[in-house]
Amino acid sequence: MNVNFKSCFVFPFRSAIILLMKITKVLIGSENRVKIESVRQSFSRFFKSVGVKGLRVDSGVPDQPLNDDIFVGAKNRAEHVKCINDEQQLNADFFVGIEGGILQLHNRWFQCSVVCMLDQHRESFGTTGLYELPNWIIEKLLAGSELKHIIDELVQHPNTNAKQSTLGFLTNGEVDRLQNNTQAITFALVPFLQDNLYFQPK
């Protein structure tokens, strides 16, 4: 995959002064527009000028990840875009992978997304909030179905995963996927924002 750097990153300029500032460049292992926007919103809270590009990569885990595979899939996505960056010398600063799945805790199953964030030498993780899924949905997921297909059938509308998402449906539109992912990316950013606390020399 060859990436044209100039056409990939869209840089919002708030004033002429920002033209002189360093642009924080982020690659994310997905072409999903909601995920890309969640990365842009989160990074824009802490960096003056941000450019984000999504790339299609393989998660290396099942389409409906369970438990630790959610973390593995997120890390695989981040590492894959980092490899593309290094091969093509794109000079990005951060590499993000987001993977959704179901997590078993306290004998119950919860839906969550995991964010893995890398720079050239360090890594961190963040998660969305957990919300419990009905038992009948869990039974279908454990039998091999994907959550997005179950919700599409339930609401009788295609591609709900890219729009309101399962969380949007369950909360009657009060909490959507963009809000959830943006918070998780912010959590994954914490170690980089407080690197003196998290990345002390050994």
Structure tokens at 116: 């893995």
Which tokens hold the place of 69? 């595979």
Q: Give the residue extent of every domain in the chain.
A: 25-192
Distance of CA 18 to the CA centre of its chain: 27
* Distance from C-alpha of 170 to C-alpha of 163, rounded to nearest angstrom: 13
pLDDT score for 13: 39
pLDDT of the residue at 15 = 38
For the chain (202 residues), the mean pLDDT of every run of 10, in chain order, is 50 41 93 96 96 98 96 98 97 97 97 97 97 96 92 79 78 90 97 94 71
Nearest to 57 by CA among 87, 38, 83: 83
**Residue 132 near residue 116 (C-beta atoms within 8 A):** no
Phi, psi of 66 (to 5 degrees): -120, 140
| Rg (alpha carbons) of the chain, rounded to whole number | 18
Q: How many helices (H) and strands (E) does the chain have?
A: 8, 6
pLDDT at 18: 41
Return the beta strands (E) in the chain as ranges.
24-28, 50-54, 94-105, 108-118, 123-127, 131-132
Q: What CATH number labels 25-192?
A: 3.90.950.10
Tokens encoding 14: 């708030």
Whole-number pLDDT of residue 22: 86
Residue pair 126/185 in contact by the 8 Å Cβ criterion: yes
